């Protein structure tokens, strides 16, 4: 139970002796959105830098994918073991440690530039993202309801959460690509810039009001993972859809710049970041533009768009064309975004009261596994067949899996 239905003074009583000047829930809403965006951007910042790491240290695409997947492991583990804690301990009390861990990750990447340091920094980044992802989504909803108690059905928290999550993922590689292309020290400057942003975000979040009554939650002990009665099939379908959507995002985040350099022959760091930006930006744009679609229609639209984009990417590898590749990335991102939005809307709807962050945490665990595992499998298959053939196989299998997941989830959603 949150303080969404409690008077504002209830929040202040839950913070005895705390002297930090609190801002209003409305201001806190935008502060949390900015912090969410900054951390997600930091998570994808290395995307255009992978070829630089590979060239400097002499490792191939498999090592790059593993280094990327370490972040996924950190995020999944953090979500699974800690993602539910904000339902009991409080939203801000989880987001503040997330930002501190992200700052530690930035410091590690700066101070220890070799491969072990890269892996350690990425692991810490994953832990921070895991703490942030489900907590910020729930925190934004809490803050909006606290500021606007008469508008409980508003779409704004979901829209801003989407924009912060996927918009941050989009801005990270674009900003890092620009800095790597035109600023000095391409493996240093991006982390300095993002570290500064995270430090500012931490200071601002400390001023945001808490929305969970800790004493009440300790008494009630909400379940880590609890669904509404009869909603398990809907959650299973949504989780499978999320896995497929994140698999595409993981492909472009881990191997996108490698494909551009190796298959298209383009060495620009900016272009390497631009492709990943196209995926995440179109993902967020599609969700926001089609936000009024019903969940079944949104899932269906995503399942149709999704394979079309992957087909264009495969075609761009056979007939090298940057324009075709970027178009395929954008279309793939739009389809994945619609799948993600439909799936997370279903997940939030089937969560039992008081267990929203815990249910979202499990959903994100499955989704983040999709971001890492398929990309690793793709690089392993690359060793046996050509990258082009591997991409076609990846596109076919993933598209079929997404269609089956949507088909399984949609009837259940309609029935609810």
Q: Is 414 helix (H, G, I), strand (E, B) or coil?
A: helix
Rg (CA), the chain: 21
Nearest in space to 41 (alpha carbons), one of 136, 172, 142: 172
pLDDT recorded at residue 347:
86
Q: What is the DSSP letter of 268?
A: -
CA distance 231 to 98: 31
Distances (CA, A) of 304 to 11, 301, 325, 339: 46, 5, 18, 10
**CB 51, CB 258: distance < 8 Å:** yes
Q: What is the DSSP letter of 23?
A: P
State which residues of the chain have pLDDT below 50. 1-18, 412-416
pLDDT recorded at residue 368:
83
Q: Kindly tell me the burial class for residue 111, based on how many C-beta atoms sit within 10 Å of its own C-beta (0-12, 13-18, 19 or more).
A: exposed
Dmax over Cα atoms in the chain, in whole Å?
65
- Output the CA torsion sign for 376, 378, 379, 384: positive
pLDDT recorded at residue 256:
85
Full-model pTM: 0.83
CA distance 190 to 39: 13
* Six token digits for residue 115: 């491969």
> φ, ψ for residue 273 (rounded to 5)?
-75, -30
CA distance 220 to 198: 34
> SS3 for 122-145, per residue?
HHHHHHHHHHHHHHHHHHHHHHHH
- Output the CA torsion sign for 137, 142, 148, 154: positive
pLDDT recorded at residue 415:
37
Q: What is the DSSP letter of 6?
A: S
CATH code assigned to 23-415: 1.20.1250.20
């Amino acid at each position: 139970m949150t303080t969404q239905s409690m008077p504002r003074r209830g929040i202040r009583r839950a913070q005895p002796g705390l002297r930090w000047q609190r801002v209003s829930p409305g201001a806190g809403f935008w502060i949390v959105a900015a912090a969410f965006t900054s951390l997600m951007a930091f998570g994808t910042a290395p995307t255009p830098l992978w070829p630089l790491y590979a060239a400097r240290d002499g490792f191939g695409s498999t090592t790059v994918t593993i280094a990327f997947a370490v972040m996924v492991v950190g995020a999944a583990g953090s979500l699974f073991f800690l993602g539910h804690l904000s339902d009991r301990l409080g939203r801000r009390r989880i987001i503040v440690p997330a930002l501190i861990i992200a700052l530690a990750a930035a410091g590690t990447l700066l101070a220890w530039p070799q491969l072990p340091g890269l892996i350690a920094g990425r692991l810490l980044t994953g832990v921070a993202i895991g703490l942030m992802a489900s907590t910020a989504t729930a925190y934004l909803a809490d803050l909006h309801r606290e500021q606007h108690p008469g508008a409980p059905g508003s779409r704004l928290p979901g829209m801003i959460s989407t924009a912060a999550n996927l918009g941050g993922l989009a801005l990270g590689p674009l900003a890092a690509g620009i800095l790597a292309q035109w600023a000095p020290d391409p493996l240093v400057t991006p982390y300095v810039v993002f570290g500064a942003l995270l430090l500012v975000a931490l200071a601002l979040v400390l001023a945001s009001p808490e929305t969970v009554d800790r004493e009440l939650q300790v008494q009630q002990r909400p379940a880590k993972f609890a669904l509404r009665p009869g909603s398990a099939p809907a959650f299973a379908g949504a989780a499978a859809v999320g896995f497929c959507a994140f698999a595409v995002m993981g492909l472009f985040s881990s191997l996108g710049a490698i494909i551009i350099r190796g298959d298209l022959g383009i060495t620009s760091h900016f272009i390497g970041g631009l492709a990943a930006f196209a995926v995440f930006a179109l993902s967020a744009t599609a969700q926001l533009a089609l936000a009024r679609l019903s969940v079944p229609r949104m899932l269906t639209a995503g399942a149709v768009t999704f394979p079309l984009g992957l087909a264009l990417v495969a075609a761009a590898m056979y007939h090298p064309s940057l324009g075709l590749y970027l178009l395929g990335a954008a279309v793939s991102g739009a389809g994945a975004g619609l799948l993600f939005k439909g799936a997370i809307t279903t997940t939030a709807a089937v969560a039992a009261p008081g267990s929203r962050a815990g249910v979202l945490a499990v959903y994100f665990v499955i989704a983040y596994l999709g971001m890492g595992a398929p990309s690793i499998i793709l690089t392993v298959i690359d060793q046996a067949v050509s990258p082009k053939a591997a991409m076609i196989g990846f596109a076919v299998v993933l598209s079929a899996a997404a269609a089956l997941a949507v088909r399984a989830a949609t009837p259940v959603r309609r029935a609810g």
